């Protein structure tokens, strides 16, 4: 093994080079970052997702479709035939399943659609994977909210009970059960490695989703408004998008080499302890250099967990993964991106790729 391959990033570049990889949800925030990173690693990327929901959106701003050399299919996961056709054409070796209805409050507004996409969409994907013999590795991304939240002060570990008060959280717990069932009933005996990944509250440049803290802060700052934080004392496991994506990339590599040893659930969360919503809001506004927040006590209108943290010891010890960007660095990366977008003075695709390169340098 060469000196370059002996580094973590060198090993990943060697592994992903020329591999066919399909990303569901590739037009979303996390999916777009993953598509660009896989392209940098030399993978042959395909995508399956809905049209980007927001304007602006990261997928369009960074011209991510150009990185999908294997094709970019715009369709819904609830359409089983479309999912099957996309996988049959792409014939990926590795599948990253990020496609989902990913918003807690929208889950209250659209519970049927949330369960349909997050549960049956996952079933449709795994059924399609079964019919494509080239698929050997699958990483299904769920969420830290798949645990039955007991409002406890200690972080959740992978064996803890699944659950969910709200439809989004419950649908992701159901998706975890689907993954476990398909692994045991079908994929394990076929030699296909499949794992689920449970990440924390992800931040980073280019997220414009509704009812998320950082996008809401940026929108308010652009409109010269003071934003009121609805749950300032709630804690969340904040992390930059590149940290969990790094975990997914490592997990797929390990699954490919030893599918039976790594085919299970994995937490990817920050260290040290989670930080309150109000603290993150104030720090981000300072780094952004504009905007104002009111962090007085407010009612959110719907039930949302107040205490949430995940224990990533297993990923640290067995995958060799660890959080690279501490919170202040994660917020600085994020503010840098949004300042560039607001000012319009930087090629956002180049900035995204530059931030990936800086992250890789820290990892390697």
SS3 291: coil
Give CA–CA dist 323/268, Å, rounded: 8
Phi then psi for residue 293, to 5 deg, are: -130, 150
Mean pLDDT estimate for the chain:
92
Over residues 204-218, the mean pLDDT reads 93
Q: What pLDDT sits at residue 2? A: 42
**Higher pLDDT residue, 184 or 274?**
184
Please, what are the domains in the chain?
Answer: 3-206+238-272+306-326 (3.40.50.720)
| pLDDT one-digit tens code per residue, 126-152 | 999 999 999 999 999 999 999 998 877
Q: What pLDDT sits at residue 309? A: 84
Give CA–CA dist 217/164, Å, rounded: 27
Residue 154 has pLDDT above 60, yes or no: yes
Chain position carrying tokens 């996952």: 122
Q: What pLDDT sits at residue 162? A: 96
Question: What is the CB neighbour count within 10 angstroms for residue 2?
Answer: 8
Residue 69 has pLDDT above 70, yes or no: yes
- Residue 206 confidence class, pLDDT cut points 50, 70, 90: very high
Give CA–CA dist 230/296, Å, rounded: 8
Q: What pLDDT sits at residue 268? A: 96
- The reported pTM is 0.94
- Residue 302 confidence class, pLDDT cut points 50, 70, 90: low
Q: What single DSSP character describes residue 240?
A: E
Q: What pLDDT sits at residue 298? A: 55
Residue 283 has pLDDT above 60, yes or no: yes
**How many CA atoms within 13 Å lie on the side-chain side of 256?**
19
Spell out where the chain has E strands: 20-24, 44-49, 72-74, 94-97, 137-141, 193-199, 201-203, 226-228, 235-236, 238-240, 265-268, 275-276, 292-294
Over residues 195-202, the mean pLDDT reads 93
């Amino acid at each position: 093994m060469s000196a370059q391959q002996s580094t973590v990033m060198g090993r990943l570049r060697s592994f992903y080079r020329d591999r066919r990889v399909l990303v569901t949800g590739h037009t979303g925030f996390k999916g777009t970052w993953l598509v660009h990173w896989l392209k940098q690693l030399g993978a042959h990327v395909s995508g399956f997702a809905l049209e980007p929901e927001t304007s602006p959106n990261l997928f369009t701003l960074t011209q991510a479709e150009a990185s999908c050399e294997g094709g970019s299919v715009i369709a819904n996961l609830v359409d089983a035939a479309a999912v099957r056709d996309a996988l049959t054409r792409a014939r990926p070796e590795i599948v990253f399943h990020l496609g989902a209805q990913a918003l807690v409050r929208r889950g209250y507004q659209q519970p049927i659609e949330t369960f349909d996409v997050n549960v049956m969409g996952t079933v449709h994907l795994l059924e399609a994977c079964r019919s494509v013999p080239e698929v050997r590795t699958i990483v299904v991304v769920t969420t830290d909210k798949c645990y039955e939240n007991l409002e406890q002060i200690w972080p959740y570990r992978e064996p803890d009970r699944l659950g969910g008060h709200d439809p989004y959280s419950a649908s992701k717990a159901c998706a975890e059960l689907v993954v476990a069932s398909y692994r045991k009933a079908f994929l394990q005996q076929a030699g296909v490695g499949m794992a689920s990944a449970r990440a924390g509250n992800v931040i980073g440049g280019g997220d414009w989703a509704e009812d998320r803290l950082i996008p809401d802060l940026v929108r308010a700052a652009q409109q010269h408004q003071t934003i009121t934080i609805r749950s300032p004392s709630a804690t969340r496991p904040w992390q930059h998008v590149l940290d969990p994506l790094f975990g997914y990339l490592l997990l797929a590599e390990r699954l490919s080499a030893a599918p039976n040893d790594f085919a299970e659930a994995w937490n990817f969360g920050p260290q040290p302890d989670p930080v309150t919503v109000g603290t993150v809001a104030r720090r981000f506004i300072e780094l952004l250099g504009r905007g104002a927040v009111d962090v007085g006590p407010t009612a959110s209108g719907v039930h949302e967990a107040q205490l949430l943290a995940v224990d990533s010891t297993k990923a640290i010890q067995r995958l060799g993964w660890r959080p690279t960007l501490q919170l202040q660095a994660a917020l600085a990366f994020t503010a840098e991106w949004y300042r560039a977008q607001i000012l319009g003075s930087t090629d956002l695709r180049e900035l995204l790729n530059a931030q990936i390169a800086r992250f890789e340098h820290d990892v390697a």
